[in-house]
Structure 1
Amino acid sequence: MEFELFIIGDEILSGRRQDRHFAAILALLEERGHHLAGVYYLPDQPDRLEAAFRQQQARGLPLISCGGIGATPDDHTRLALARALDLPLVRHTEAGGLIEQRFGEAAYPHRIHMADFPAGAGLIPNPVNQVAGCRCGHTHLLPGFPEMAWPMCAWLLDQYYPAVAAEIRHSLIAIDAREGELIDLMQELVQHWPAVRFSSLPSYGNERHPAPHIDFSVSGQEPEVDEAYDFLRQALSLRGINLI
């Protein structure tokens, strides 16, 4: 299954904090055989968030959103999603109860607003401080704190999106190869095995190989991925290209 990822917060876009969600959530998805179809970095701006949620709903893919569901004035994600779904923002009884249990009288007047979700939302449990995230259909709101968001993401994936067989990936290095001279070969591969994901990454030299090369990879399920890889190796070898 393919997912999209929203990473929300001015602190990310300004560089005051480095994003850690992309790599972690990509790994959680890949461990379960799922794919990341797109990642979007968004500011703490209500109108921009609402527009992004509306566009994402039109695309129809499951969404994991990290950030902006706290109780401070710069947290707009919950309300932006409600508006995008044309739903009211309402107090979720169970989420409110969890906040009251966690904070007691200090839940009021501000923290309790973290229990306000689009009407009809379900909860995503938070094992760290019990302040839940929410899910509205296939849209899932998680906090920005990595130590909370990542176990919550793992829970929702295991609960609602059963794991499938992980993709097999084969890669090779074509030394001193030139992309422009190999496009016909690449086109033949993708046309013959459309279910296989193909990647061509040229480099002037990196940690994988110090001289100019192309890093080719194919990924997918057997037997197609093995067939595509064998074709690629043989076709490159026939053109006299050294492979590692």
Structure 2
Amino acid sequence: MAFGVLIIGDEILSGRRQDKHLPKAIELLKARGLSLSWARYCGDERPLLTEMLRQTFASGDVVFSFGGIGATPDDHTRQCAAAALGVDIALHADAEREIRARFGEEANPQRLMMGELPVGSHIIPNPYNRIPGFGIRGHWFLPGFPEMAWPMMEWVLDTQYSHLHHAQPWAEDSIAVLHTHESQLLDLMNAWQARFGVTIFSLPSLGSTTGRRHIELGAKGAPDDVTAAMAAMREDMTRHGHPWCEMAALHDAV
């Protein structure tokens, strides 16, 4: 099952705010033995957001969407989700209950607007202020505030997808190859990938005042296969005369 992330808001695209959701989503998934397949950004533009949601609903992926579920004029995510699915938007009974419990007699129509959700939604509890997010068709719509959104994402992962946690053993390992160009390693990389059934990756670094120029060369996949591939990689680097070191020793390498 693929997991995706949507980051919504003009403030991200304009640079007024820096996105913190993407790295946190990766962290929360990784802690449960899961991984992120894709991420997309979108501003607060209804036609564009509606079309993007049509595409992601059609994908069948599990999607976490951050931002745009409030009641201010620049919040369009609830309405766009409804439009993408071709359903109405209406005050959700559970969301109304949570908002009234939070605000009491001050639960005015403006605040209740945050409980107007696409028909067929179910709420995501918000431990911060009780104003819920919502889920529908494998999409989970969360606030833009990290203090609210991240515990809500954890709740979804742990209550809706616990059966997927650590379901597929996974490992990743790498070494640092020095004084070598990627083109010199392509044949070896293709051979390791075909031989061991892992994904071989190569991440060149131009170096800096705190690190040497190098290529981070590694493998990811089933743990036993990664172990075998990395053993072959280390042996082949030495045999072909490519200097290398473990990543932890990179700053000491000559």
More off after superposition, 80-89 vs 218-227 = 218-227
How far apart, CA to CA, are the structure 2 residues paired with 1:216 and 1:201? Answer: 7
The alignment's TM-score, normalised by the length of structure 2, stands at 0.91
Other structure's SS at 2:52 match: helix
Give the CA deviation at 1:229: 1.2
Say whether residues 1:39 and 2:39 are aligned partners: yes
Partner of 2:251: none
Say whether residues 1:235 and 2:225 are aligned partners: no
Partner of 2:252: none
Give the CA deviation at 1:219: 2.0
Give the CA deviation at 1:137: 2.4
Other structure's SS at 2:79 match: helix
Aligned amino acid, residue 203 of structure 1: S
Contact in 1 for aligned 2:205/2:214 (Cα 8 Å): yes
Give the CA deviation at 1:221: 2.2
Distance 1:31 1:207, change over 3 A: farther
Give the CA deviation at 1:198: 2.6
Provide structure 1 residue ranges, at least 5 long, that are not aligned to the other structure: none
Other structure's SS at 1:90 match: strand
Give the CA deviation at 1:93: 0.2
More off after superposition, 219-228 vs 8-17 = 219-228
Give the CA deviation at 1:113: 1.0
Contact in 1 for aligned 2:124/2:134 (Cα 8 Å): yes
What root-mean-square deviation, in Å, do the aligned CA atoms of Structure 1 and Structure 2 show? 1.5
1:161-200 residue pairs with structure 2 within 5 A? 161-162=161-162, 163-164=165-166, 167-194=170-197, 196-200=198-202
Percent identity at matched positions?
40
Partner of 1:59: 59
How far apart, CA to CA, are the structure 1 residues paired with 2:65 and 2:169? Answer: 23
Other structure's SS at 2:38 match: strand
Give the CA deviation at 1:104: 2.3
How far apart, CA to CA, are the structure 2 residues paired with 1:94 and 1:88? Answer: 17
Contact in 1 for aligned 2:57/2:137 (Cα 8 Å): no
Distance 1:207 1:227, change over 3 A: farther
How far apart, CA to CA, are the structure 1 residues paired with 2:232 and 2:195? Answer: 10
Partner of 1:82: 82
Partner of 2:249: none
How far apart, CA to CA, are the structure 1 residues paired with 2:205 and 2:186? Answer: 16
Partner of 1:203: 205
Distance 1:222 1:149, change over 3 A: same
Distance 1:207 1:93, change over 3 A: farther
Say whether residues 1:97 and 2:97 are aligned partners: yes
Aligned amino acid, residue 238 of structure 1: R
Contact in 1 for aligned 2:46/2:80 (Cα 8 Å): yes
Provide structure 2 residue ranges, at least 5 long, that are not aligned to the other structure: 246-254
Give the CA deviation at 1:55: 1.1
More off after superposition, 68-77 vs 219-228 = 219-228
Contact in 2 for aligned 1:200/1:215 (Cα 8 Å): yes
Other structure's SS at 2:37 match: strand
